[in-house]
Amino acid sequence: MPAAPRSRSPFARSWRSFWRKPGAVVSVTILGLMIVVAILAPWIAPYDPARMDMFNMLSGPSAEHWLGTDENGRDVLSRLIYGGRVSLAVGLASVTGAIAIGATLGGLAGYFGGWIDSIVSRLIDGMLSIPLFFFLLTTLALFGSSLPILILTIAATTWMPVARIVRGEITAIRENQYVEAAKALGVGRLTILFRHILPQSTPSIIVAATLGIAEAIIVESALSYLGFGVRPPMPSWGNMLADARGYIFQTPILTVYPGALIFICVLAFNSIGDALRDATDPRK
């Protein structure tokens, strides 16, 4: 008799399900291309993004400047490439920090319970009750809007959803038999948490991360648009949009370029997050 086919692991099934979604494949391709271009910006960008040409301001697309120039004669294509580098870096770095904070606090609350859970839960509720955007504006107005402060501020105000997800999953996992066996063998409680329990929440954390990056890019773009985010001459898609606002009737295409890139990038991250959530859903 022929041997029965081996069943695939849950990870393999999720991976296969993810790559069967056309939207996810297209989104990964787009984001991969954006990340490669951002990394290779010094070699790809045709001009220094801060280089001004006062004799060539607000010019249209040409052989010399493929997407034209802005109000200061700076090459738009070069600024879009470097702006993507900044926007993606802020999104990735801030979400990494948010995951570190949220996973640690959520893991401690879910595993130890008791007063630790009460404190973390009240902290989450308190943070969620604060209007996020106005809190960010106040913090950046007080401490400045350098890139590190912007990243830290976004990370410190967006960790709560990750903490809630991790807390819920750890609460369900901590009673499993392998956890009890590890305790019986004398394994330390923190070792059990960070080495044996927390990795079980990795799929949910990854989904939260992809959606969080999209949110962080929108937040950075909005703050830069209002003048509280990335400051010129460093380009970001948000401050490019703000600079083009004053010329929307004279050269409206300047607002289209950064706006379209923000839209495409956020849509791609959200599409990947939705695909990952469907692929890792045990009910499907």
In a domain, 189, yes or no: yes
- What pLDDT, in 10s, does the model give residues 185-209? 677 777 777 777 777 777 778 888 8
pLDDT at 284 over 80: no
Residue 102, SS3 per DSSP: helix
- Predicted confidence at residue 5, as pLDDT, reads 47
- Categorize the per-residue pLDDT at 261 as very low, low, confident or very high, splitting at 50, 70 and 90: very high
226 within a domain of the structure (yes/no): yes
Taking the CB of residue 95, how many other CB atoms lie within 10 A of it? 28
Q: Which residue has the tokens 């004053």?
A: 246
Q: How far is Cα 58 from Cα 45, in angstroms, rounded to an integer? A: 19
Please report, for residues 29, 174, 193, 209, the alpha-carbon distance to residue 186 in angstroms, rounded to integers and kept in the order given.
47, 16, 13, 34
Q: Which domain holds residue 247?
A: 68-279
DSSP assignment of 136-153 equals HHHHHHHH---HHHHHHH
Q: List pLDDT tens digits, range 118-170.
A: 999 899 888 888 888 788 888 888 887 778 888 888 888 888 888 888 888 88
Lowest mean pLDDT among 26-35, 142-151, 263-272: 142-151
| Contact status, residue 207 vs residue 280, Cβ threshold 8 Å | yes
Is 165 part of any domain? Answer: yes
What pLDDT does 93 receive?
Answer: 92
pLDDT value of residue 81: 93
What are the tens digits of pLDDT across the range 52-81? Answer: 888 888 888 888 888 888 888 899 999 999
The answer to whether residue 52 sits within a structural domain is no
Domain membership of residue 42 (yes or no) is: no
Averaged pLDDT for residues 225-242: 83
pLDDT at 10 > cutoff 60 = no
Separation between Cα atoms, residue 116 and residue 60, nearest integer Å:
60
Span 218-238, average pLDDT? 84
Query: What pLDDT is stored for residue 110 in this prediction?
Result: 84
Q: What tokens does 79 get? A: 């600024």
How many folded domains does the chain comprise?
A: 1
Q: How many residues does the chain have?
A: 284
CA 273, chain centre distance (Å): 11
pLDDT at 1: 45
Is the overall model pTM greater than 0.85, yes or no?
no
Confirm whether 193 is domain-assigned: yes
207 domain-assigned = yes
Q: How far apart are CA 46 and CA 53, in angstroms?
A: 14
Q: Are 277 and 211 in contact (CB under 8 A)?
A: no
13 in any annotated domain: no
Count, in order, helices (H) and strands (E) of the chain: 13, 0
Give the CATH number of the domain where residue 235 resides: 1.10.3720.10
